[in-house]
Amino acid sequence: MEMLSMLKVGYTVLRSETPATDLVNTFMDWAARRSLLLLALFMPPYYVYKLTASAAATVAPQDVAGKVVLVTGASSGIGEQIAYQYAKKGARLALVARREGSLREVAAKATDLGSPDVLVVPGDVARPEDCKAFVQATVERFGRLDHLVNNAGLVNVCWFEEMPDVATFKQVLDVNFWGTVHPTHAALPHLTRSRGKIFVNSSAAAVLAMPRMSFYNTRGM
C-alpha cells in the first residue's frame, strides 16, 4: 500500500498543472502529431523504394569480382555459405572466426570455388582489440575493404526464470550486439573511402519469438 501511495503521489506531481509541465505536454503533443503525420507521408514511398531496390538487385546483382569482403563467423553455418557465394563471384575474402582450423578448411574450399585470394584471420568479435586487428590485417593484405558482413552470433537456449545467474547471458550480448558494433566501428573509415557496404545478419526470432530463447530473440531487433 505504501508503494501504491508513492506512485499516486508521483503521478499527481507529474500531472500538476504548472507552467513548466504544461509547456512540456504541449510540446510533446505537437511533436507526436507531426511525427505521425510524417510517418504516414514518408513510410509508403520508403517501402516502395526498398521493394524497387530489392527487385533491381535481384535482376541485376552487383558485380563483386575483385571486391574485398570481410565475413565474421565464417568458420561454419551461414557465414561459411556466405563466403562460398562471394567466392563463386570472384570476391577476395577475409574470413574471421575463433576456430582457425575450420577457417582454413573454408578458405581452401572458397579458393576452389573461385576466390582469387583468401585471408584467414582468427579473432573474437567480442574483443575490440581483435576487431581492430582483423580489419587492419584485411586492409594491409588487400589495400582496401568493400564489404563488411557481420554474421557472427551465439544462441542460448533456456528458460529465463530458471537461469541461476543472468550474467551468463553476457557472452551472448557481447557477440550478438557488440560483435557487430566493434567490427563496424573499426571498418567504417575504410568502408567510407571505398563507398562500401555493411551487412548485418539478423534473426527472424526478433519477429517470431521462440520459446526458451528469450534473450537471443533480441538479436534481430
Which of 11-20, 21-30, 194-203 has maximum average pLDDT? 194-203
Q: Which residues pair with 200 in a beta bridge?
A: 150
* CB proximity list for 97: less than 8 A, separation 6 or greater: 72, 73, 74, 75, 76, 79, 103, 122, 123, 152
Does the active-site annotation cover 49?
no
> CA-CA distance, 102 to 114, in Å (whole number)?
19
Could you read off the pLDDT of 69-103 as tens digits, one per residue?
999 999 999 999 999 999 999 999 999 999 999 99
Could you read off the pLDDT of 146-178 as tens digits, one per residue?
999 999 987 777 676 777 777 777 888 888 889
Residue 136 has pLDDT above 80, yes or no: yes
The grid coordinates listed for 28 are 510533446
Q: What is the pLDDT of residue 218?
A: 53
> CA-CA distance, 136 to 157, in Å (whole number)?
34
CATH architecture of 68-220: 3-Layer(aba) Sandwich (3.40)
Residue 141 to residues 94, 174, 220, Cα–Cα distance (Å) = 9, 27, 32
Residue 208 has pLDDT above 70, yes or no: no
**What pTM, to 2 d.p., does this model score?**
0.70
pLDDT above 90 covers what percent of the chain? 50
Q: Taking the domains of the chain in order of start, what are their residue ranges?
A: 2-59, 68-220
Q: What is the pLDDT of residue 56?
A: 74
Sign of CA dihedral 135, 138, 139, 145: negative
What letters, b where the CB count within 10 A reaches 16 and e where it falls short, cover 66-95? ebbbbbbbbbeeebbebbbebbebebbbbb
Which of 46, 84, 86, 216 is the catalytic position?
Answer: 216
